């Protein structure tokens, strides 16, 4: 059972790093919409977006963007990170119990 918890913990850590990478790319794109990654950054951005699209898009289906005047607040990334952190804590508790 220990190896299973270790593999799941590593998968959640990698997903966390991919979500942080996605946040960085989205912040850059929001500051400069004309920016496009070049060279190695294309591969890094593709990995980050491919690894996290399933989570963020499924959350966006249930919780749409909240409009406040001209501003749109998207909680998909934030709720995804909270879910990852909860899953990591539950996994650690289960690992100590079992």
Q: Which residue segment(s) compose the domain that 24 sits in?
A: 2-97
Q: What is the distance of C-alpha 53 from the center of its chain?
A: 8
- Look at residues 42, 64, 50 and name the one whose alpha carbon lies nearest to residue 15: 50
**Verdict on whether the full-model pTM lies above 0.85:** yes
Based on the structure, what is the number of domains in the chain? 1
Mean pLDDT on 47-62: 96
Residues, the chain: 98
Mean pLDDT on 32-46: 94
Task: Extract the tokens encoding 16.
Answer: 């966390």
Write down the pLDDT at residue 91: 95
């Amino acid at each position: 059972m220990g190896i299973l918890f270790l593999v799941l913990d590593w998968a959640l850590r990698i997903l966390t790093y991919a979500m942080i990478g996605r946040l960085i790319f989205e912040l850059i794109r929001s500051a400069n919409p004309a920016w496009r990654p070049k060279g190695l950054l294309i591969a890094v951005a593709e990995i980050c977006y491919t690894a996290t699209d399933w989570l963020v898009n499924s959350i966006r289906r249930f919780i749409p963007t909240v409009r406040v005047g001209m501003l749109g607040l998207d909680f998909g990334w934030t709720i995804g990170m909270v879910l990852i952190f909860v899953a990591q804590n539950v996994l650690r508790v289960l690992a100590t119990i079992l």
